[in-house]
Structure 1
Amino acid sequence: MRRRTILTAAAAATAPVPLLEARGQAAPRRAGRLALRGADISTLKKNLDFGAVYRDAGGRRADPFALLAAGGVNAARLKVWVNPADGYNSKATVLPMAARARAAGMKLFVDFHYSDAWADPGKQNKPAAWASLPFPQLRDAVYGHTADVLGALRAQGTPADLVQIGNEINGGMLWPDGRWDNWPQLAALLTAGSTAARSVSPGTRVVLHLAEGGNNSQHRWWFDNAVSYGVPFDVIAVSHYLYWHGTAASLAANLADLSARYGRDVIVAETAYGFTTAEDDHEPQIFNASLAATAGIPASPAGQVTAFRRVCDVVTGVPNGRGIGVFYWEPTWTAVRGAGWDPANPASGDGWENQAWFDFNDRALPALQVYNSYR
């Protein structure tokens, strides 16, 4: 892959960003290269606003976007909530983050949760403003929200390259209306989001994203339904954390099957690993010694690199060049007082800082350089 020039913010507003490729088609790629070397930096603005500092490996303070770009990151993933309690991850904060990412030469991957807070396989809560809507109006709300955010991004000169309709939607979205056991309504909601994306941002590729990246039987069932109900989509995305979702071999088998069965490109939209099991704030860490033992990889800076590389190698090995990218989840979410996980609770902590790419002294770890091997 060619190296990207870091643009100024002014230039980025008008500079064209090449599309990945035509929908449903995969261009041949050299083995070992990732077209999308991504980072989910959804919490970065909140971290910066509450005083986070980022340093290179030598301890010199630096702009986090510049550090990410120098580490080979060429795509940023940003989640969108509808009306979060603290205002972060809303349209108002996603727009300036998108501008900064584009100024650093990055493509943009927008992740709609269709909630006011976290949406994942265990919870898909409606936004408060949509809670009492009859289904036709709920479907319209999905369309309108998607079109509003993507239209605003396009208007400011930072159109999304990829858009995710729902986050880890193994069990559906906007429960109970769009639960997994009501595919006609789930398909209608997904189609509303996809149609809105293609209407207001024609160059944007639509992504459908499931967790449990090695769960082939579940994923076949899910995407068979999506296809049978005519849901429009371009890319299949999975989350795969080696300590939760199985081995790299199970991920490889699933991605190879999904890409061939449905004729779509595939990405790993979320992965991460800990460089320690220690804590840097009062919030208990998600990654701990038990999870490290499950993965069989040391909780160390070198272990973090090993785990990350295993996932990247799987994606580059997907047959026929269909594996187009990896996104590491929240590598810049270091522990900063006030920038915790709960938008409704300013006293909440991080719980993720031991999986970041920066140590507890804010210095860049070796994992920050992994993507440079996949250019």
Structure 2
Amino acid sequence: MRTYFILFLILFMNSCSLDKTEEVINQVPKSKTFYKGMDLSFQMELESYNLSYKDKNNNPIEILSFVKQNGCNLVRLKIWHTPLDGQNTLAKVKAYALKLKAQQIDFLLDFHYSDYWADPSNQTPPQAWQNLTQDQIRQEIYLYTKNVLSELSNQGTMPKIIQIGNETDSGFLWNYGKVWNEFNANWSNLAQLYTKSAQAVREVGGSEVKIMLHHSSVENSIYYFNKLAPFSLDYDVIGVSYYPQFQIKDLDLVQTKLNTLASTFSKEIMIVEVAYPFTLDYNDSSANYIGFSSQIITNYPATPSGQKDFMLKMISILKNIPDNKGIGLCYWAPDWVAFTGNQVTSTAGSSWENQCLWDFNLKALPAMDVFQ
């Protein structure tokens, strides 16, 4: 009888131990996704050129399946309101979003709120929104944002991250939301534009979708988000661009600035635009953004291995932001190669081919390994 009792006691204690183990496991927070993304907005145009991208062994590949296999887990797409050149319309974004869904790649949607490129020097409202009152422009941004996201949601391709405006250092939808020069007292109007856009995001995507605000500069973004802080805006992620040719080249200072952003505003951080050259040469007659050694970081030469080492450092910086606030990066235009061949006219070429992740023979570069 005593033997049976001891056996029962052992089984009971083991059962309790398993229950406790399950309880502990359930209390461990799930690991956060670290995004290793690419902005493939040019693919909606480049697909028509039937470019033969290749892997590192020179075998032809299909670009989306290839980047998925190599570890890319986020694709960023820009959208323009009524693009004059036919690029990046809602219809094209919807079609490409379905391709992303088929590859099970998450999707970041970048609203430019313009008919063309929006950046710190250009924030022109869509032609359809000209000459409106402040109240009318707020209503337009709400309705437009909600319509775009509703159409994406209805086809099962709701983005994981919504970026409200592109490089909005000086505000966006000028002069309604301009906060530059004589409009330095206009922060309240800018905040209300953000609020109406965020309202539309939440009504369609709820809390599952992350909202990002985007600044073009690692070093100057702290001032910007301090100016927005009194308005208690609804957003989750601070997105920044980091291009060494335009910004500080001290990567220790880059780390410090990103750490300060995360701790000051309690937001997640993403380097949502980044790139680096694998050469200072060019493959068409269009002038490139980078062509001189003075534009890059000394410790990271413009070589295939230098490009890879730079990207490894970027990932290390993000992963060293305290409290796991660094959630990833997005390589800008890795596919924007010299798409109509060598020595084309400057209006038809790429100004980015020496910063792509494919070389001049369209063979994948070593930096592609960083995404794995």
TM superposition score normalised by structure 1: 0.85
Deviation at 1:349, TM superposition (A): 2.2
Per-residue deviation, residues 226-271 of structure 1 (Å, max 9, x unmatched): 2212321111111111232223222211111111111111111010
Is contact 1:41–1:330 with CA below 8 Å preserved after alignment?
Answer: yes
The residue aligned with 2:244 is: 242
Conserved 8 A contact 2:285-2:346: no
Answering whether residue 301 of structure 2 is matched by residue 298 of structure 1, we say: yes
Task: Summarize the Cα distance change of 1:81–1:99 in structure 2 as closer, same or farther, 3 Å threshold.
Answer: same
1:370 aligns with 2:370: yes
Change (3 A) 1:100 1:346: farther
1:258-269 counterparts in 2 under 5 A?
258-269=261-272
Q: Distance in 1 between matches of 2:306 and 2:295?
A: 9
Counterpart of 1:209 in structure 2 is: 214
Question: Partner residue of 2:279?
Answer: 276
Partner Cα distance (1:244, 1:307) in 2: 16
| Equivalent residue, structure 1, for 2:313 | 310
Aligned residue type for 1:199: E
How does 1:180-259 map onto structure 2 within 5 Å?
A: 180=179, 181=184, 182-202=186-206, 203-213=208-218, 215=219, 218-246=220-248, 247-259=250-262
2:286–2:347 contact (8 Å) kept in structure 1:
no
Change (3 A) 1:28 1:211: farther
1:23 paired residue number: none
Per-residue CA shift, 1:143-177, capped at 9, x if unaligned?
12211111111111111100000111111101111
**Alpha-carbon deviations, 1:174-218, whole Å to 9, x = none?**
1111111210111111111111111111121110110111x1xx3
In 1, distance between residues paired with 2:117 and 2:63?
24
Q: Is it true that 1:42 corresponds to 2:44 in the alignment? A: no
Counterpart selection for 1:319 from 302, 305, 322: 322
User: Does the aligned pair in 1 maintain the 2:286–2:346 contact within 8 Å?
Assistant: no
1:28 CA displacement: 7.0
1:16 corresponding residue in structure 2: none
Where relative contact order (Cα < 8 A, 6+ residues apart) is larger, the structure is 1
Cα pair 1:243 1:295 within 8 Å, conserved: no
Q: For 2:339 and 2:131, locate their aligned partners in 1 and report how far apart those are by CA, in whole Å.
A: 36
CA distance, structure 2, for counterparts of residue 293 and residue 258 of structure 1: 24
Provide the residue aligned with 1:356 in structure 2. Answer: 356
Q: Is the 8 A contact 2:81 2:114 kept in 1?
A: yes
Amino acid at match of 1:80: I
Residue of structure 2 in register with 1:288 after alignment: 291
Number of equivalent positions? 334
Q: 3-state SS of the aligned residue for 1:89?
A: coil
2:80 touches 2:89 (CA, 8 Å); kept in 1?
A: yes
Matching residue of 1:89: 88
Is 1:52–1:334's contact at 8 Å kept on the other side of the alignment? no
**1:326, 1:294 → 2: CA distance?**
19
User: Which structure has the bigger radius of gyration?
Assistant: 2
- Encode CA deviations 1:329-369: one digit per residue, 9 max, x unaligned: 1111112139xxxxxx9943210111111111111111111
Task: Return the alpha-carbon distance in structure 2 between the equivalents of residues 346 and 132 of structure 1.
Answer: 35
Structure 1 runs (4+) deviating above 6 angstroms are none
Distance 1:196 1:351 in 2: 35
1:43 deviation in Å? Answer: 0.5
**Residue deviations 1:21-74, cap 9 Å, x none?**
xxxxxx5759xxx61111111101211112222111111111001111122100
Secondary structure of the corresponding residue to residue 201 of structure 1 = helix
- Give the secondary structure class of the aligned counterpart of 1:62: coil
More helix by share: 2
Q: What whole-Å deviation, never above 9, does each CA across 1:108-132 have from its counterpart, x for those lacking one?
A: 1110111111111121111111122
**CA-atom RMSD in angstroms:** 1.9
Secondary structure class of the residue paired with 1:146: helix
- Distance between the aligned counterparts of 2:167 and 2:251, measured in 1? 19
Secondary structure of the residue aligned to 1:348 is coil
Report the residue type matching 2:247 in the other structure. Answer: H
Residue 157 of structure 2 aligns to a residue in which SS? coil
Q: Which runs of 5+ in 2 are unaligned?
A: 1-28
Residues 256 and 109 (structure 1), Cα distance of their counterparts in 2 relative to 1, 3 Å cut: same
Matched to 1:276, the amino acid is T
**Cα deviation code 1:84-112 (max 9, x no counterpart):** 11211111111111111122121111101
Query: 2:193, 2:346 → 1: CA distance?
Result: 32
Corresponding residue SS for 2:197: helix
Instruction: Give the aligned residue type for 1:100.
Output: K
Identity of counterpart residues, as a percentage?
32
Counterpart code for 1:237: G
Secondary structure of 2:245's counterpart equals: helix
Q: CA deviation at 1:294?
A: 5.1
Residue 105 of structure 2: aligned partner: 106
What TM-score do the two structures reach when normalised by structure 2? 0.86
- Maintained 8 Å contact 2:300/2:306: yes
**Structure 1 residue matching 2:329: 3-state secondary structure:** strand
Q: 8 Å contact 1:190–1:231 — kept in the other structure?
A: yes
C-alpha contact 1:54 1:62 (8 A) present in aligned 2: yes
Indicate how the Cα distance of structure 1 residues 291 and 349 shifts in structure 2: closer, same or farther if over 3 A, else same: farther
